[in-house]
Structure 1
Amino acid sequence: MAHVDETLAAYEGIAARYDELNARMDTSSLVARFVEAADRYGSGGRRLLDAGCGTGRSSVAFRKHGFEVTGYDLSPAMVAAARRRPGAEEIRFLVGRLQEPPPGLTGFDVVACVDVPMTYLTDTDQLRQALTAARDQLTEDGVLLFDLNTIGYYRRMFGVPTIADRGDRYVAWFAESPRIEADAVVITQFDLFERNGAGWERLSMRHVQRHHSERTVREVAERSGLRVVAAHGLVGTSARDPADEDEHDRILYVARRSDLTV
């Protein structure tokens, strides 16, 4: 099975319960970091494209910050959940891939990829295609914002098998790779066990991601007609500077079109 098909299968299978299983994720605080970056580096325009929007949690959060939002995602089931989300009535949701977005998405002041959807781009050519697509979606003075997991995060979270006890639910995960290397694919196995009467039900997923180092991101961005103008570290949803690949969980990148006239 191709990596993109595995990603689609994983999210199609979990879409109906995605929000429940990720209830601890503080999406509103994460979006606030993106909004701060948009306000600092952007043009002030309020047309925003939420690329890789999932079930629309980030899209609704951006809407609350006053943006006119359009969102799209790889998974039709996730998009269907987004359309049903309270507060999403004025948001248009579409189906498409980061490197092959729906047609006609242009003229955005901000393109945002929230909660690491670009980690599922498993080679630099896919990353280049996605960044090129984002460049084409921006206005001349628009800004692209996206976060990526650090190598330190991958090693801390997936370096050893882990089991989380949630009462009537257990979650187990581990990296299939014997070593987690920089700028390499990380394949993670997740198993969810839930009590069902006297027995247990199991849901298994494989997530195929890639670590993209800051050096790689900057080089690929240049080939895509973009210039990285800032990179901020995140620990949880708190900003940390300067960004550190070992100590921080994610890096929030800010990029603008390289043909921008200053």
Structure 2
Amino acid sequence: MSYEQMAYVYDHLMADAPYESWVRYLCGETERFQAPGSRVLDLGCGTGELSIRLIKRGFDVTGVDMSEDMLAVAAEKAAEEGVVFPLFQQDMSKLGGLPECDIATIFCDALNYLSKPEEVRDTFRHVHRHLAANGMFLFDVHSIYQMEQIFSNQTFTWNEDEIAYIWNSFPGEDPHSIEHDLTFFVLDEESGLYGRIDEFHKQRTYPVSDYLDWLHEAGFDVLSVSADFSSDPPEETSRRIFFSCRKR
């Protein structure tokens, strides 16, 4: 599958994603808790949509993603928008050699793609090492409710002239995990035929208490835990949990 196909499918799937809400969250938290600077390490940056928005807000962004294809798309989108920023292909649980940052982010539940607790803990430790003194770490994750009540054993569909998909979600083998089986049919404008793209994704989350323990272990003070882009603490039916942390 070429990265042009992947980018089209990904950006189409994420067309309604609340990117501006993530930007507002970052701006609000970094102002409220006085981040030491504006250098941002955007982990799991994907096709660069959030990174580019942050650059336009005046942040100095470095993007990191494990997918070479996604990074190629991010570079192309940045050129189209007239911005330039460094991009690195790395696994967030094995970060190394990146520039020091004042703010590290893992948004859009990218952390949930790590399948083992050790990988999450390693990610926290590597983020801590790349942060400047008093640097901030902001991230979100799916809640257990989202995994087990919203995703589990559900089928989601979409049908338009240019793209259609069938998205089946079912419980994974690990606790609080989910597996997504996606099939896309994408129109090739030149041939007028539809091509099929199959994707399989696994995600896993943990109790808030686990994240808090791992953050403390890695050397972070947790400044705020909230839910669903609000300032309210998580409730039983919250879907997305946000953590604002500071390097000790």
Give the TM-score normalised by the residue count of structure 2.
0.87
1:133 has 2:123 as partner: no
Kindly provide the amino acid, as one letter, of the partner of residue 84 in structure 1: E
Q: State the Cα distance separating 1:100 from its structure 2 match.
A: 1.4
Q: CA offset at residue 177 of structure 1?
A: 1.9
How far apart are 1:102 and its partner, in Å?
4.2
**Residue 29 (structure 1) aligned with residue 51 (structure 2):** no
Change (3 A) 1:70 1:200: closer
Q: Secondary structure at the match of 1:115?
A: coil
User: So what's the TM-score if we normalise by structure 1?
Assistant: 0.83
1:243 corresponds to which of 211, 234, 243: 234
Partner of 2:112: 119
Q: In structure 2, list runs of 5 or more residues that go unmatched.
A: none
Aligned equivalent of 1:253: 243
2:89 equivalent in structure 1: 95
* Alignment map for 1:164-203 (pairs within 5 Å): 164-168=157-161, 169-177=163-171, 183-194=175-186, 201-203=195-197
Matches of 1:77 and 1:226, distance apart in 2: 32
Residues 230 and 253, structure 1, Cα contact 8 Å, conserved in 2: yes
Quote the Cα distance in structure 2 between the aligned partners of 1:34 and 1:204.
Answer: 33
- Asked if the contact 1:42/1:109 (under 8 Å) is kept, the reply is no
Percent identity between matched residues is 24
Query: Alpha carbons of 1:78 and 1:199: their partners in 2 closer, same or farther (altered >3 Å)?
Result: closer
User: Which ranges in structure 1 are unaligned for 5 or more consecutive residues?
Assistant: 1-8
Residue 193 and residue 251 in structure 1: after superposition, are their counterparts in 2 closer, same or farther (change >3 A)? same
Q: CA 1:255–1:55 in structure 2 vs 1: closer, same or farther (change >3 Å)?
A: same
Distance 1:61 1:149, change over 3 A: same
| Number of corresponding residues | 243
CA distance in 1, matches of 2:4, 2:234: 33
What is the Cα deviation at residue 44 of structure 1? 4.4
Q: Which residue of 2 aligns with 1:145?
A: 138
Deviation at 1:16, TM superposition (A): 4.9
Deviation at residue 209 of structure 1 after TM alignment: 1.0
2:151 aligned to which of 154, 158, 166: 158
Is 1:232 matched with 2:235?
no
1:256 and 1:166 map into 2 onto residues whose CA distance is 43
- How far apart, in 2, do the equivalents of 1:36 and 1:96 lie? 28
Q: 1:17 to 1:26 in 2, by over 3 A?
A: same
Give the conservation status (yes or no) of the 8 Å contact 2:224–2:243: yes
The alpha carbon displacement at 1:122 in A equals: 1.1
Pick from 189, 199, 208: which aligns with 1:214?
A: 208
1:177-229 Cα offsets, whole Å, 9 max, x none, are: 279x8x53322212223467897543221111111221110111122122222
**1:176 alignment partner, SS class:** strand
- Equivalent position SS for 2:92: coil
Q: Does 1:20 align with 2:12?
A: yes
Q: Which runs of 4+ in 1 moved over 6 A?
A: 196-199
C-alpha RMSD of the superposition: 2.6
Distance 1:162 1:90, change over 3 A: same
Is the aligned partner of 1:223 residue 2:221? no
Give secondary structure in 2 for the equivalent of 1:239: coil
Matches of 2:169 and 2:4, distance apart in 1: 21
